[in-house]
């Protein structure tokens, strides 16, 4: 058994895809790789399967009967902030990608894709689920002000308030922590945290920073930790 097999064998994947030919091929190939795969043919079935079992990762098509991928992602995120969601988008659907990330997807893959690409992406996401586990044994807990973040459990505390972070919120927060007291541009954040080319007009970064402020700032309208730098981006001064 290779290292890879040990790591990923038996991981449970919920595949949400209405194109039968594509789904059948993916089912076969993912099973070959050692994953347990469960197939939902539409948005309704996706939510039913999600409710009735647990999974390590979700592959989610956007155009689906009953509930589209955005609705499914939103509903899943309400229940589970942390399960990795990989969205499948059309080649021209750059705005779909952004919308997908806004509603809670962690990554996207453009159709048509090569199997190898999908497999790498899945492995990356399953790995990313444990990205916070520092290899040097450093603490996964960070503090600033009255706030505490546990990157291992993706949970936080703001005073007495418990907070559950999504993977994407935690990744942004981690980036801020790693670049404390440094001005970081929207461009840099989009590229480093979201893997999106900057040419796209998007409020993604601002929306996420707003969420972090709502969680952790004593007064989100007068931020002291996540400050705006006009015309550039943000600076974290935790
Ligand atoms: Ca579809």
Ligand 1 is a single-atom ion; what residues have CB below 5 A from it? 18, 61, 63
CATH topology of domain 137-236: Arc Repressor Mutant, subunit A (1.10.10)
Compute the distance from residue 51 Cα to the ligand 1 centre, in Å: 21
Cα–Cα distance between 207 and 36 in angstroms, integer? 35
Compute the distance from residue 211 Cα to the ligand 1 centre, in Å: 31
- The sign of the dihedral angle between the CA atoms of 130, 149, 197, 95 is positive
Cα–Cα distance between 27 and 153 in angstroms, integer? 30
Going by pLDDT thresholds of 50, 70 and 90, the confidence category of residue 133 is low
- Was domain 3-134 assigned CATH 3.40.50.2300? yes
Domain spans, the chain: 3-134, 137-236
Q: Flag whether the pTM goes above 0.85.
A: no
Looking at residues 13-32, what average pLDDT do you find? Answer: 97
Going by pLDDT thresholds of 50, 70 and 90, the confidence category of residue 39 is very high
Q: Long-range contact list for 141-150, CB < 8 A, 24+ apart?
A: 142/177, 142/238, 143/238, 144/216, 144/225, 144/238, 145/216, 145/218, 145/224, 145/225, 145/238, 146/218, 147/215, 147/216, 147/225, 147/238, 149/173, 149/177
Q: With 60 as the cut, is the pLDDT of residue 156 above it? A: yes
pLDDT of residue 98: 80
Compute the distance from residue 61 Cα to the ligand 1 centre, in Å: 6
């Amino acid at each position: 058994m290779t290292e890879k097999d040990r790591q990923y064998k038996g991981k449970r994947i919920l595949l949400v895809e209405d194109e039968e030919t594509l789904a059948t091929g993916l089912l076969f190939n993912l099973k070959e790789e050692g994953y347990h795969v469960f197939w939902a043919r539409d948005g309704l079935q996706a939510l039913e399967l999600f409710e009735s079992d647990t999974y390590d990762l979700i592959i989610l098509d956007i155009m689906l009967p009953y509930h589209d991928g955005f609705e499914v992602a939103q509903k899943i995120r309400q229940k589970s902030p942390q399960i990795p969601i990989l969205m499948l988008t059309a080649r021209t659907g750059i705005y779909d990608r952004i919308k997908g990330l806004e509603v809670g997807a962690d990554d996207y893959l453009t159709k048509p894709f090569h199997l190898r690409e999908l497999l790498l992406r899945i492995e990356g996401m399953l790995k990313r689920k444990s990205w916070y586990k520092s290899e040097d044994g450093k603490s996964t807990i960070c503090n600033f002000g009255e706030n505490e973040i546990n990157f291992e459990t993706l949970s936080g505390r703001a005073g007495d308030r418990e907070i559950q972070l999504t993977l994407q919120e935690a990744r942004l927060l981690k980036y801020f922590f790693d670049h404390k007291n440094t001005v970081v541009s929207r461009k840099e954040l989009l590229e480093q945290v979201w893997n999106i080319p900057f040419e796209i007009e998007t409020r993604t970064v601002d929306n996420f920073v707003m969420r972090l402020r709502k969680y952790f700032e004593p007064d989100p309208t007068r931020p002291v930790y996540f400050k705006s730098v006009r015309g550039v981006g943000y600076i974290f001064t935790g």
